[in-house]
């Protein structure tokens, strides 16, 4: 339990640091979309005080601040997962994982939700989920999908996650990062930011001799 709990705290805090870097990109895109901007705007968005202000915000407030200040909106079912995982992090950090009334987010209880990735095979028109040890035929068609998973904890219960659940929680946080990058790319494009061409990494061949 201790290892999983510490791991989950570290993962959620890493998301917070990731959002801090994301904010810098949003600030740059937002400022450079203007014909010109003032020194005050520069300091308000890229200065040391701006970084400190954002760093002190909790995860939900960081997400809200991006939307309010830069019109950078993160919505969808994945967002609900991230916020619930953050509530689990708060409970683990401040209350040693024992659920209190302030943790409740669903009818007086704490509901944690996330995405579970699955490998699904189709054989003779029938679908089945692959697990460790499942035989796979050469003709099987295999794809990955995600399903919505949740657990509910009553006030007074202790948050305990299995190693496989911890892996799924990490996957959900990873997917959130991927969505953020996709939204950031669209955000930059809408503000006239052009992506740099990929560098040519081909090693020239020596044809001498």
pLDDT tens-digit map of 85-112: 999 999 998 998 999 999 999 899 999 9
Q: Which of these ranges, 7-11, 27-31, 86-90, 129-133, has the smallest mean pLDDT?
A: 129-133
Res. 197 pLDDT band, cuts 50 70 90: low
Which of 5 and 30 is assigned the larger pLDDT?
30
Tokens standing for residue 163: 């190693």
116 in Cβ contact with 170 (< 8 Å): no
Amino acid 76: pLDDT:
76
Residue 185 covered by a domain:
yes
Res. 199 pLDDT band, cuts 50 70 90: low
Query: Domain of 83?
Result: 2-113+154-190
Residue 120 covered by a domain:
no
Residue 135 covered by a domain:
no
Report the number of distinct structural domains present in the chain.
Answer: 1
d(CA 19, CA 13): 10
Which of 6 and 64 is assigned the larger pLDDT?
64
**Whether pLDDT at 5 is above 80:** no
159 in Cβ contact with 92 (< 8 Å): yes
**Whether pLDDT at 1 is above 80:** no
d(CA 41, CA 173): 32
Residue 136 covered by a domain:
no
The dihedral of CA 183, 72, 45, 192: what is its sign? positive
Tokens standing for residue 167: 């892996």
Residue 66 covered by a domain:
yes
Got the DSSP string for 55-122? HTS-HHHHHHHHHHHH-----SHHHHHHHHHHHHHHHHHHHTTB--GGG--BTTBEEEEEEEEEEEEE
Residue 204 covered by a domain:
no
d(CA 25, CA 40): 18
**Whether pLDDT at 209 is above 60:** no
d(CA 176, CA 74): 9
Residue 200 covered by a domain:
no
What are the φ/ψ torsions at residue 147 (nearest 5 degrees)?
-120, 155
Which of 86 and 76 is assigned the larger pLDDT?
86
CA end-to-end distance (rounded Å), the chain: 64
- Give the DSSP H or E segment for 153: strand 141-153
User: What is the share, in percent, of the chain residues with pLDDT greater than 90?
Assistant: 69
Q: What is the overall mean pLDDT for the chain? A: 90
Residue 163 covered by a domain:
yes
d(CA 103, CA 121): 39
Span 33-39, mean pLDDT? 89
């Amino acid at each position: 339990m201790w290892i999983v709990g510490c791991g989950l705290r570290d993962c959620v805090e890493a998301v917070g640091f990731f959002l801090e870097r994301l904010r810098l990109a949003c600030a740059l895109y937002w400022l450079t979309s203007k014909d010109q901007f003032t020194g005050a705007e520069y300091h308000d968005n890229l200065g040391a005080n701006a970084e400190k202000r954002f760093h002190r915000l909790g995860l939900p407030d960081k997400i809200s601040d991006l939307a309010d200040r830069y019109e950078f909106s993160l919505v969808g079912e994945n967002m609900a997962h991230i916020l619930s995982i953050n509530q689990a992090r708060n409970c683990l950090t401040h209350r040693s994982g024992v659920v209190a009334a302030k943790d409740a987010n669903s009818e007086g209880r704490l509901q944690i939700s996330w995405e579970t990735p699955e490998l699904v095979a189709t054989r003779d028109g029938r679908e089945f989920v692959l697990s460790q040890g499942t035989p796979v035929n050469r003709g099987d068609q295999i794809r990955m999908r995600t399903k919505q998973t949740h657990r509910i904890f009553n006030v007074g219960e202790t948050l305990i996650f299995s190693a496989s659940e911890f892996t799924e929680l990490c996957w959900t946080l990873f997917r959130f990062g991927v969505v953020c990058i996709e939204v950031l790319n669209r955000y930059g494009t809408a503000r006239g930011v052009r992506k740099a061409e990929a560098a040519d990494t081909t090693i020239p061949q020596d044809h001498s001799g």
